[in-house]
Structure 1
Amino acid sequence: MKNDEPTVGRRVLLRSAVFLGVAAAAGMLSGENGAPGAGGPGPAAGPGGLPAAGAPGMLPQGPPEKSYRLRPMTAEAPARPPVAAPAVRTRPILELPPHSPAASNGMVLTFDDGPDPRYTPGILDTLARYGVRAMFFVCGEMAAENRDLLRRIAAEGHVIGNHTWTHPLIPRLSRPALASEIGRTSEVVQQVVGEAPSWFRAPYGAWNRATFEIGAELGMEPLAWTVDTLDWKEPGTTTIVSRVLDAAAPGVIVLSHDAGGDRSQSVRAISAYLPQLLARGYRMTLPSLPGTAPASAPS
């Protein structure tokens, strides 16, 4: 019997192979288009009819990329030209280019540290009353807690910038920690409003080489300011108004805050200085990214 065992084994294998071939041809193991048949479920179809990740015969795949980095995978989706990353700067942009159309009697209003439901709505109400737009450099932890307010900022045409997650002093951070602070904030903005920030501002104005490099890797330009209202010191509404009006000039970028403390003075101040700036002939505008047309609002 021992001499017969290999022969019997080969016959069993041969019959099994023939049966499986016939069954597959008859559709017994799987239906058309991967539909499950008598032999169990077939591999799920992925984009373009390819087997999905994890299907038999496919190599295991890692976790998906961050949402704001995804690209179309189907043949039907229009191909999007790759967006060139900004150049790595050695210092932030401080003001609008003096000869740009936006700088002609144009000023930029910016607000840091929010959004805060106690103060940001009042600032938005004033901006809407006069039909102008501004920039809001948000902290990720505040944006994550006030998503509806972040949506309102975007829906009303204002620009949302990245101001890190927790407002740290950047030079004290390791590069991985800084990458997390900036990257997480871009992610939450992308998740909430559907578009990642194109502008970044360092807390306290404390920039370093890593800040410029990481910001550029995430597609952001660094923006500073030329007029600091120092409203975070709570100097009084009249003082804030005077600082803005006294320093008003074409191309300046004004720094104020809508969170990080009691910002009721900042809310009252913009309702006082904004109509005066417009009466002087200034336009509240927005900076444009290199290679794009300047963005401005009616005023």
Structure 2
Amino acid sequence: MGRISTLAGIVVVALFAATAAYANENTCPGDPGYAAETRVVTVPTTGGPAYGNMQYPQTVPLGPKEVVLTFDDGPDPESTLRILDTLDRHCVKATFFMVGYYAARHPEIVREVAARGHIIGTHTWLHPNSLRSYSLAQAQREIRRGFEAVEAALASAPAEDRQRLAPFFRFPGLNDSAALIRWLGERHVATFSCEFGADDWKPIGSAEVRRRAIRNIASVGRGILILHDTKPRTADMLSSFIVTMREQGYSFVQLAPEPESRIRAAAVSDALIGAVEPLAVADIRPATAVAEPSLEPDAALH
């Protein structure tokens, strides 16, 4: 009888140890009350759908109190890395819409974003505040060069990381045009707007950015949030924001393209994005005469 009791005790201890090990593997080390993995929602890109109820009839399929974190305008050598560290600490994955000019200047940060498991979309080459004021050909060149710059930055990365460049695009200032959305759609590139912003592009403090983000999310309940990884104020408030949102019952979701989206987008004639294979892309660093991008939108995101 004593031997049976001893064996039972050993089994219980082993089961407890296995359960604890499983829990540790699936719990965020920096935020132990939450999962180590961000839920991934895949979205179609075929035909170039436009997502985000601030502008479009449809948005991404989220449950109650689910929020997608997106960051525009980087990569930035200071703020982007701080934001990546905060996201790692809280085990949150996001989507970064990158400006091609900065991707060409800081390709190592583009690779770092991908290596840490985030999805990358593009945001033009020079972030013109309104592509509507460009000729169609000029606007198309802006968009194309943005994709080329990010692909070039990822050319030396492992295939898994190169795959994180998705056929996702966001218009600077959300100033879209029907003609460009159709053109993107013909290349199976999806357009992303949002449900809410936090006005972090304005000269306000980090506490106010946090307050506006929480207020705007609460007014809608779920959706895509636009932030900017070029803003120190955003990096300053991000950890507290994530903690507060979780305390209020919200969770974070990462967007990814449906399987085969990249292959489909790369297969069309005059594609904007290539297949995941070694790229022979010319050096597209900007000439010294190129002006710095303008990163401020024309109007606030309410």
TM-score range, shorter chain: 0.5 to 0.7
User: Identity, % of aligned pairs?
Assistant: 29
CA deviation profile, 1:217-273 (whole Å, cap 9, x unmatched): 3331111111111111121111111112222354321111122xxx21111111221
Counterpart amino acid of 2:226? L
**Which residue in 2 is equivalent to 1:216?**
185
Q: Which has the higher strand share?
A: 2
Match runs of 1:237-256 below 5 Å? 237-249=206-218, 250-256=221-227
**Which residue in 1 is equivalent to 2:102?**
142
Is the 8 Å Cα contact of residues 47 and 187 (structure 2) preserved in structure 1? no
Q: Distance in 2 between matches of 1:134 and 1:152?
A: 13
Is the 8 Å Cα contact of residues 189 and 197 (structure 1) preserved in structure 2? no
Does the residue aligned with 1:243 lie in a helix, a strand or coil? helix
Residue 93 (1) aligns with residue 57 (2): no
Stretches of structure 1 that go unaligned for 5 or more consecutive residues are 1-83, 293-299
**Which residue in 2 is equivalent to 1:268?**
236
Q: Distance in 1 between matches of 2:140 and 2:96?
A: 21
- Alpha-carbon distance change, 282 to 118 in structure 1, aligned in 2, over 3 angstroms: same
**Which residue in 2 is equivalent to 1:182?**
143
Match runs of 1:83-232 below 5 Å? 86-89=46-49, 92-94=51-53, 100=61, 102-168=62-128, 169-193=130-154, 194-195=162-163, 196-232=165-201
CA deviation profile, 1:272-298 (whole Å, cap 9, x unmatched): 211111222222112354689xxxxxx
Per-residue deviation at 1:188?
2.2
Is the 8 Å Cα contact of residues 166 and 256 (structure 2) preserved in structure 1? no
- Alpha-carbon distance change, 177 to 87 in structure 1, aligned in 2, over 3 angstroms: same
**Which residue in 1 is equivalent to 2:252?**
284
Q: Distance in 1 between matches of 2:189 and 2:196?
A: 22
Stretches of structure 2 that go unaligned for 5 or more consecutive residues are 1-43, 155-161, 261-302
Counterpart amino acid of 1:120? T
Is the 8 Å Cα contact of residues 97 and 103 (structure 1) preserved in structure 2? no
Name which one, 1 or 2, has greater alpha-carbon Rg: 1
TM-score, length-scaled by structure 2: 0.62
Per-residue deviation at 1:85?
6.7
Q: Distance in 2 between matches of 1:290 and 1:167?
A: 27
CA deviation profile, 1:192-225 (whole Å, cap 9, x unmatched): 3334432111001101012202322333111111
- Alpha-carbon distance change, 205 to 88 in structure 1, aligned in 2, over 3 angstroms: same
TM-score, length-scaled by structure 1: 0.62
Task: Indicate which of 258, 265, 281 corresponds to 2:229.
Answer: 258
**Which residue in 2 is equivalent to 1:296?**
none
Counterpart amino acid of 2:146? T
- Alpha-carbon distance change, 97 to 275 in structure 1, aligned in 2, over 3 angstroms: farther
Per-residue deviation at 1:191?
2.8
| More contact order relative to length (CA 8 Å, sep ≥ 6) | 2
Per-residue deviation at 1:142?
0.5
- Alpha-carbon distance change, 280 to 97 in structure 1, aligned in 2, over 3 angstroms: farther
Counterpart amino acid of 1:197? A
CA deviation profile, 1:88-133 (whole Å, cap 9, x unmatched): 55x5433897894x43431011111110102101111110000001
- Alpha-carbon distance change, 144 to 272 in structure 1, aligned in 2, over 3 angstroms: same
Q: Distance in 2 between matches of 1:174 and 1:98?
A: 28
Per-residue deviation at 1:170?
0.6
Is the 8 Å Cα contact of residues 95 and 255 (structure 2) preserved in structure 1? no
Counterpart amino acid of 1:179? Q
**Which residue in 1 is equivalent to 2:19?**
none
Residue 236 (1) aligns with residue 195 (2): no
